Structure 1
C-alpha cells in the first residue's frame, strides 16, 4: 500500500491529498529516508511524520484493506511518539498567549507601561 494511502487509512490525515502534500514537502520519512507519496509501506516499517509541529513516530503492524474506524487504528500501527513532543506543544500554546492579538494596532502608553513593568520585574 502507498504511504499516502496508509496515512489516510489510519486517520493521520483527513484526505489523501493532504497526505500526498505532506510527502512532497518532506514531512514523512520511512526508516529514516524522506519518501515520495508512491512509496510502498510494509509491516514493521518505522514511519516518522511531522504534523502540527509534533514529530510522530509509528511502527506499522499490518496493512488495512481500506480506511478504518478510529477504534480499530491501533491494530494497524503502534504509536511510539515520545511524550516530550506533546509537552512541547503545550508549552508553545502557553507562549502564544503572551503576544498581542493580530490587528489590535500599536501598543498604547498604558500597554507600554504594563510591558515595561512586566519585563523590569523579571530582571
Structure 2
C-alpha cells in the first residue's frame, strides 16, 4: 500500500492531499529514510511523521484499504509522540 494512502486510511492524516504534501516536504521517514508519497509500505515498517513541532513515530501493524473508523487505530501502534490526526498545514 502507498504511504499517502496508508496515512489517510489509518487517519493519522485527515486528507490524502495533506499526506502527499507532508511527503513532498520531506517530513516523512520510513525506516529512517525520507519517503515519497508513493513509497510502498509493509507490515512492521516504522514511520516518522514530523508536523509543526511534533514528531510521531508509529509501526505499521496491518494494511487495509478502507477500514472502519473504529478499526483505523488497529492499523498502527504508536512508538513515541502523540496519537491523532494532522490538520492541513
TM-score, with normalisation over the residues of structure 1? 0.62
Give RMSD over aligned pairs.
1.5
More strand by share: 2
Q: Which residue of 2 aligns with 1:74?
A: 73
What stretches of structure 1 move > 6 A for 4+ residues in a row?
Answer: none
Q: Which runs of 5+ in 2 are unaligned?
A: 83-89
Count the aligned residue pairs. 82
Tell me how far apart the structure 2 counterparts of residues 73 and 14 of structure 1 sit (CA, whole Å).
Answer: 12
Unaligned 5+ residue runs, structure 1?
A: 84-123
Q: Normalising to structure 2: TM-score of the pair? A: 0.84
**2:16 is the alignment partner of 1:16:** yes
Which structure has the larger Rg? 1
Query: Does the CA-based 8 Å contact 1:10-1:68 persist in structure 2?
Result: no
- What does residue 103 of structure 1 align with? none
